[in-house]
């Protein structure tokens, strides 16, 4: 007997994922419990027998973690597969569903992190920072509203598109086209991050060599650096932060604390000038 999920169950499943994809988040389970929350209303509607419900839910206890916004498509795909399994389709079983989930986690994370975290969020933050010039709250308001609207409707679109496409989406996401898409988005994300860094990060030195006779500066280090490589210190600091987080696996919080220490020491020795007047 063919079974069909109702709009109400699909809507509840999506909202469970939207609000709860980080439910009980831990290093051991990551988004597993959020996934369980998303599948619960679907399983409740598709199966009448409690044992069948328990067996179906057990499928989704396997480890799961991906980029949550774009990852909505995986939840949508498995919603369609669960519907097919409940309808008695022979080639859809627990192994098939979990194999698909495991196979899509990495590719979706690669695309999502580059597109959402590496491109869209920096663009929105760049616009917001521009609107916040002079202490205006408009930038923060803009970011909160636009990001939440984008996240909600973007995730909803991906969820229902995954449900609509089902297994057809897999060939695109993990095939040659998916790999090319990931490379293109990664390149675009790198360009955006570089542009945001060049626009909003500025590191300059106040170090000068003063003549004992005239009391005037005969060497201004920042002017010398700008003559050779404008923005050199900014570039070095950005590369330094990237090295610590990417190669040394330091958390952003630790990197920020280290930068505070560097800035403090730099001010004490006269390398930096915070421009404060007392």
| Domain end among 142, 169, 194 | 194
Structural domain contains residue 273:
no
Instruction: Tell me, yes or no, whether 112 and 136 share the same domain.
Output: yes
Structural domain contains residue 274:
no
Instruction: Tell me, yes or no, whether 211 and 121 share the same domain.
Output: no
Give the residue with greater pLDDT, 71 vs 186: 71
Whether residue 74 contacts residue 101, with contact meaning beta carbons closer than 8 Å, is answered with yes
Instruction: Tell me, yes or no, whether 132 and 251 share the same domain.
Output: no
Question: How many domains is the chain built from?
Answer: 2
pLDDT at 145: 93
Does 113 score more than 70 pLDDT? yes
What CA–CA distance (Å, rounded) separates 34 from 61?
A: 10
Residues 6+ apart with CB under 8 A from 137: none
What CA–CA distance (Å, rounded) separates 113 from 77?
A: 20
pLDDT at 126: 84
Does 107 score more than 80 pLDDT? no
- Identify the domain containing residue 135 by its residue range: 7-194
pLDDT band per the 50, 70, 90 thresholds, residue 105: confident
Instruction: Tell me, yes or no, whether 32 and 74 share the same domain.
Output: yes
| Domain end among 169, 194, 219 | 194
Instruction: Tell me, yes or no, whether 156 and 256 share the same domain.
Output: no
Instruction: Tell me, yes or no, whether 177 and 214 share the same domain.
Output: no
Among the listed ranges 88-92, 125-129, 156-160, 165-169, which one has the minimum average pLDDT value?
Answer: 165-169
**What SS3 string covers the chain?**
CCCCCCHHHHHHHHHHHHHHCCCCCCCCCECHHHHHHHHHHHHHHHCCCHHHHHHHHHHHHCCECCCCCCCHHHHHHHHHHHHHHHCCCCCCCHHHHHHHHHHHHHHHHHHHHHHHHHHHHHHHHHHHHHHCCCCCCHHHHHHHHHHHHHHHHHHHHHHHHHHHHCCHHHHHHHCHHHHHHHHHHHHHHHHHHHHHHHHHCCCCCCCEEECCCCCCEEEEHHHHHHHHCCCHHHHHHHHHHHHHHHCCCCCHHHHHHHHHHHHHHHHHCCCCCCCCCC
Structural domain contains residue 89:
yes
Does 192 score more than 80 pLDDT? no
Structural domain contains residue 156:
yes
The dihedral region occupied by 214, where left means phi > 0, alpha psi between -120 and 50, and beta the remainder, is: alpha
Mean of pLDDT values over 108-125: 82
pTM of the model: 0.64
Encode pLDDT of 196-228 as tens digits: 677 778 888 888 887 777 777 778 888 888 888
Does 132 score more than 90 pLDDT? no
Angle subtended at Cα 188 by Cα 184 and Cα 191, rounded to the nearest 5 degrees: 145
Does 170 score more than 60 pLDDT? no
Structural domain contains residue 74:
yes
Instruction: Tell me, yes or no, whether 159 and 23 share the same domain.
Output: yes
Mean of pLDDT values over 175-200: 66
Structure token pair of residue 82: 């669960």
pLDDT band per the 50, 70, 90 thresholds, residue 189: low
Structure token pair of residue 199: 């626009």
pLDDT at 78: 87
Does 94 score more than 70 pLDDT? yes
Structural domain contains residue 275:
no
Instruction: Tell me, yes or no, whether 12 and 101 share the same domain.
Output: yes
Instruction: Tell me, yes or no, whether 59 and 131 share the same domain.
Output: yes
Radius of gyration of the chain (CA): 26
Encode pLDDT of 20-65 as tens digits: 888 887 777 888 888 988 989 898 888 888 888 888 888 888 888 8
Mean of pLDDT values over 120-130: 86
Instruction: Tell me, yes or no, whether 58 and 98 share the same domain.
Output: yes
Structural domain contains residue 1:
no
Instruction: Tell me, yes or no, whether 121 and 222 share the same domain.
Output: no
Instruction: Tell me, yes or no, whether 96 and 230 share the same domain.
Output: no
The dihedral region occupied by 249, where left means phi > 0, alpha psi between -120 and 50, and beta the remainder, is: left
| Domain end among 136, 160, 194 | 194
Structural domain contains residue 57:
yes
Does 77 score more than 80 pLDDT? yes
pLDDT at 186: 62
Residue 142 burial (10 A CB sphere; 0-12, 13-18, 19+) = middle
């Amino acid at each position: 007997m063919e079974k069909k999920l109702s709009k109400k169950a699909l809507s509840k499943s999506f909202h469970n994922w939207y609000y709860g994809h980080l439910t009980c988040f831990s290093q051991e389970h990551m988004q597993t419990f959020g996934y369980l929350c998303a599948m619960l209303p679907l399983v409740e509607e598709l199966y009448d027998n409690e044992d069948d419900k328990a067996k179906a839910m057990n499928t989704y206890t396997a480890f799961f973690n991906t980029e949550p916004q774009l990852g909505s498509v995986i939840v949508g795909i498995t919603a369609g597969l669960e519907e097919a399994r409940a309808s008695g389709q022979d080639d859809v079983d627990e192994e098939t569903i979990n194999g698909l989930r495991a196979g899509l986690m990495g590719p979706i994370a690669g695309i999502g992190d580059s597109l959402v975290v590496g491109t869209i969020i920096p663009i929105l933050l760049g616009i917001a920072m521009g609107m916040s010039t002079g202490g205006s709250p408009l930038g923060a308001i803009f970011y909160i509203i636009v990001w939440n609207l984008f996240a909600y409707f973007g995730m909803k679109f991906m969820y229902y598109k995954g449900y609509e496409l089902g297994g057809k989406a897999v060939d695109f996401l993990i095939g040659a086209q998916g790999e090319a898409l990931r490379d293109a988005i990664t390149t675009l994300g790198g360009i955006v991050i570089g542009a945001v860094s060049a626009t909003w990060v500025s590191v300059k030195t106040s170090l000068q060599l003063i003549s004992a006779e005239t009391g005037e500066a005969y060497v201004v280090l920042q002017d010398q650096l700008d003559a050779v490589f404008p923005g050199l210190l900014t570039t070095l600091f950005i590369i330094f932060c990237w090295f610590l987080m990417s190669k040394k696996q330091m958390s952003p919080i630790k990197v920020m604390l280290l930068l505070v220490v560097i800035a403090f020491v730099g001010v004490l020795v006269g390398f930096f000038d915070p421009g404060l007047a007392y």
